[in-house]
Structure 1
Amino acid sequence: MSESSVGKDGEIVVECGLDAPAERVWRALSVPELAADWLGAMPAGSRNSEDDSATSFEIVDATPFSRLTYRWRGGSPDSPGDSFVTVEIAPRGPQNTWFRLTHRPPAMRPAAANGNRPMALAA
């Protein structure tokens, strides 16, 4: 059973149990080639991720067998910027792992006060 929620700031949290040992889950998340298959994105710096339309990720922080954070780059040219995905895991027996994924959206860029239109000069 999994639980998910969306915070008012757009943060998405998904929690569930996985029927796999924590070591196996960690390997799937931390080896870029394996993570690419699981995440459906390309590791940053790979040939295919250099294409602006490719979704890519890179590991920016890791605490082995516990916590991992990816920088996530959307494949859309109008994407508002990088987001961050943090995965936390913990063993729940020899063949089970607690899994929590938190996706923080990109910081919103402030819009120009004038809607980015030329300002009218007062006479």
Structure 2
Amino acid sequence: MTAKKVEFRSLDFERQLDHPPEKVWRALTQKELLGEWMMPSDFTPEVGKSFTMTAQWGEVTGRVLFVEPERRLSYTWNGPGLSSEVTWTLTPRNGGTLLRLDHTKIPSDSKQAYHGAKAGWPGFLDALKKTLSDID
């Protein structure tokens, strides 16, 4: 018998934000702020730490893989029908921050999860922009 080769897909988004990297970093890593724009969670930006985020449609669990404050954050993203990774990259640009989101290692056969993430991330990113405007 031959083992089936698992193929993966990814989603990539970029947003130019009118806020400095340190402010964007706070919104990505402080659980109180994460709850405002993404989902309530017990997130802590420490490598190896596990976390849970809760939404109406279900739960996402993960583990922090990489932390470079105000530059890069990566964690696993495990939700209904999906086991993948999310990486945020912050680059200072034009007096603000170029924010890049890479959602990778999405199994090709997880079509519903892929399309859900493809539809969901733009809404989260819009909510992030609003949260950034509302905090000091």
TM-score (norm 2): 0.55
Structure-1 separation of matches of 2:101 and 2:12: 6
Equivalent position amino acid for 2:10 in 1: E
CA contact (8 A) 1:15 1:100 kept: yes
Bigger Rg, which one: 1
CA contact (8 A) 1:87 1:99 kept: yes
The corresponding residue for 2:121 is none
Equivalent position amino acid for 2:37 in 1: W
User: Alignment partner of 1:24: what SS?
Assistant: helix
User: Is the helix fraction higher in 1 or 2?
Assistant: 2
The corresponding residue for 2:33 is 34
Pair 105,40 (structure 1): closer, same or farther in 2 beyond 3 Å: farther
Q: Which of the residues 70, 75, 85 maps onto 1:65?
A: 70
Equivalent position amino acid for 1:72 in 2: W
Cα offset for 1:23?
Answer: 0.6
Cα offset for 1:91?
Answer: 1.4
User: Is the strand fraction higher in 1 or 2?
Assistant: 2
The C-alpha deviation readout for 1:17-38, integer Å capped at 9, x for no partner, is: 0111111001111223322433
What 5-or-longer segments of structure 1 have no aligned partner? 1-7, 110-123
CA contact (8 A) 2:74 2:87 kept: yes
Identity of aligned residues (%): 30
Is 2:20 the counterpart of 1:15? no
Cα offset for 1:71?
Answer: 1.4
Cα RMSD of the aligned pairs, angstroms, is 2.9
TM-score (norm 1): 0.60
What 5-or-longer segments of structure 2 have no aligned partner? 1-6, 43-49, 110-136
Aligned length: 94
Cα offset for 1:57?
Answer: 4.0
The corresponding residue for 1:3 is none
Structure-2 separation of matches of 1:10 and 1:41: 27
The corresponding residue for 1:89 is 90
The corresponding residue for 2:103 is 103
Runs of 4+ with deviation above 4 angstroms? none
Please give the residue correspondences for 1:41-60 in structure 2 after superposition, counting only pairs within 5 Å. 42-43=41-42, 44-45=50-51, 53-60=58-65
CA contact (8 A) 1:41 1:56 kept: no
